[in-house]
Structure 1
């Protein structure tokens, strides 16, 4: 591989305008790794940014100018590192030697995203990929999990104090909500999920202690004994 491929968003526009281009191979800077992307994801923030959301603020970070490369998540094989990076077993394109497979994210606001291959990535945001899973499965996890972790932290919930807490999750059948049900269930929390009729069994199977059907019951009728609440409504239903 002597060149890189980028999926550029030409916008801002609706419908979204995308174009694939070949560019020079990037070189990792200090503390970065080079990762040919095997799988990535499309998050709601990507769709919003493609239509112009946050353009003025992100421009202050050098990340709002079009055309731009979207994307936050990735899985891929580590092929190059720079000084200051913990040891990885590197792949080699010339010999076909396989390197360590990593998963991670590029934060929103960084110039250049993961809808490109290979991108350079801050090694602090890379972890060994989950073994035994196809590449696309762990590629859907880093950004969503980080968003959930920040929400839990904001609500004062962590792995040490979740057990026995009563938590309500609004929008429980969406991506963040489903992850929240599982994480809170593992932590021993008692979770009430708010969702539509079609997703009641899904939420129960993911660990909800109780389910509130928002299409049949008024939210005003909910009890108010919860220790914490997570609201992912509009992100998932």
Structure 2
């Protein structure tokens, strides 16, 4: 099968279209023929090795010293079950599914094997493969942070970086849970975040949300520009700052914040739970959650997709599509 291999850390030029062995499902696994995947900020970060402050050394130990131990990037997919292992009973050939592979990656390929009990669920019937592929990363990340932040109905939530994959998901989920939502983004994306349900949209080039006198129960920082030192004055006395992206100094500060105030800082990687995929799928099927797609690129042009994600200006998700026109089963 064809796969995109990251040959070393660096620019999108390190990505090579390569022929690799097609995986064979183990007894408890399913083999998925991938129809769509995505290029996320996580893919950009791992390929370029642009890590948050303080995480360079530990990231090399975890992911690889000079190149990735898992050279095939891609954290999410949508596709069709081609075959199942002899003990797999939850899915059958022909099932249309989507999955979130998280740190194990491997979705930038034509096929992927996953345990039947793993992070894979049936695709909502009303979504295309492209839309389903874009459900997982932003949706499950925002959901996990809101769970850890104990979001309650009626609370005031500000989403900083509201137009990216996690940001657009956070706006929609906060509204679903009954919050009053303020979205911070660039002027080009104000109408987008309003269309997702934001009660107010702030153009960060024209207004600094930390200086307008407003306070919030929860601030979600998806882009790493609203650390506690900057946003503490915008949190209510029992406010929670959810740092989706932050450096090691911010994490080390968390215990001190908890001891010296009623405010709380929540950071660290989001949990990967199949229950969250099912919840997001249910919302999408009911029309309560919509994955936002900025651009689609064919599989062979994935390096160009990376170049676009590298700009930091994508709206929602960047999707990669596979040409399955020659397949007999669609």
After TM superposition, is the score higher than 0.5?
Answer: yes
What is the Cα deviation at residue 84 of structure 1?
5.4
- Give the equivalent residue in structure 1 for 2:68: 64
C-alpha distance in structure 1 between counterparts of 2:128 and 2:112, whole Å: 20
Q: TM-score, normalised by structure 1?
A: 0.82
Determine if the alignment matches structure 1 residue 184 to structure 2 residue 174. yes
Q: Secondary structure at the match of 2:38?
A: coil
Measure, in 2, the Cα distance between the counterparts of 1:185 and 1:176: 14
1:120 corresponding residue in structure 2: 113
Any idea what SS the aligned residue of 1:172 has? coil
Bigger Cα displacement from structure 2, 198-207 vs 47-56 = 47-56
Separation of aligned partners in 1, 2:12 and 2:36? 24
Change (3 A) 1:72 1:189: same
Structure 1 residue aligned with 2:28, among 13, 31, 47?
31
> Between Structure 1 and Structure 2, which shows a larger proportion of helix residues?
2
What pairs with 1:140-159 in structure 2 (closer than 5 Å)? 140-157=134-151
- Measure the CA separation in 2 of the matches of 1:225 and 1:200: 21
Q: Which residue of 2 aligns with 1:106?
A: 101
Q: Shift of residue 56 of structure 1?
A: 2.4
Q: CA deviation at 1:71?
A: 0.5
How many residue pairs are counted as aligned between the two chains? Answer: 217
CA distance in 2, matches of 1:230, 1:69: 30
Structure 2 length-normalised TM: 0.60
Within-5 A mapping of 1:26-105: 26-52=23-49, 54-59=59-64, 64-65=68-69, 68-82=71-85, 85-90=88-93, 99-105=94-100
Cα gap change, 1:224 to 1:76, in 2 (>3 Å): same
- Select which of 132, 135, 138 maps to 2:132: 138
Query: Could you say which residue in structure 2 is the equivalent of 1:193?
Result: 183
* Cα shift readout 1:184-231 (whole Å, capped 9, x = no counterpart): 112211111112223222222211112223222233323353111101
Secondary structure in 2 matching 1:56? helix
Could you say which residue in structure 1 is the equivalent of 2:197?
A: 207
The answer (yes or no) to whether the contact 1:16–1:50 under 8 Å persists in 2 is no
Q: 1:5–1:20: 8 Å Cα contact kept in structure 2?
A: yes
Q: Is residue 155–residue 229 contact of structure 1 (8 Å, CA) maintained in 2?
A: no
Helix, strand or coil at the partner of 1:46? helix
Deviations 1:122-147 (A, max 9, x none): 33210101113221111111122121
CA distance in 2, matches of 1:65, 1:88: 30
| 1:225 equivalenced with 2:215 (yes/no) | yes
The partner residue of 1:167 within 157, 169, 178 is 157
Cα distance change of structure 1 residues 214 and 21 upon mapping to structure 2, 3 Å threshold: closer
Aligned partners of 1:128, 1:233: CA distance in 2, in Å?
31
d(CA) in 2 for partners of 1:51, 1:183: 30
Write the distance in 1 (CA, Å) between the matches of 2:23 and 2:192: 43
Q: Taking CA–CA contacts closer than 8 Å with sequence separation of 6 or more, which of the two structures ends up with the larger relative contact order? A: 2
With over 3 angstroms needed to count, the CA separation of the structure-2 counterparts of 1:25 and 1:211, relative to structure 1, is closer
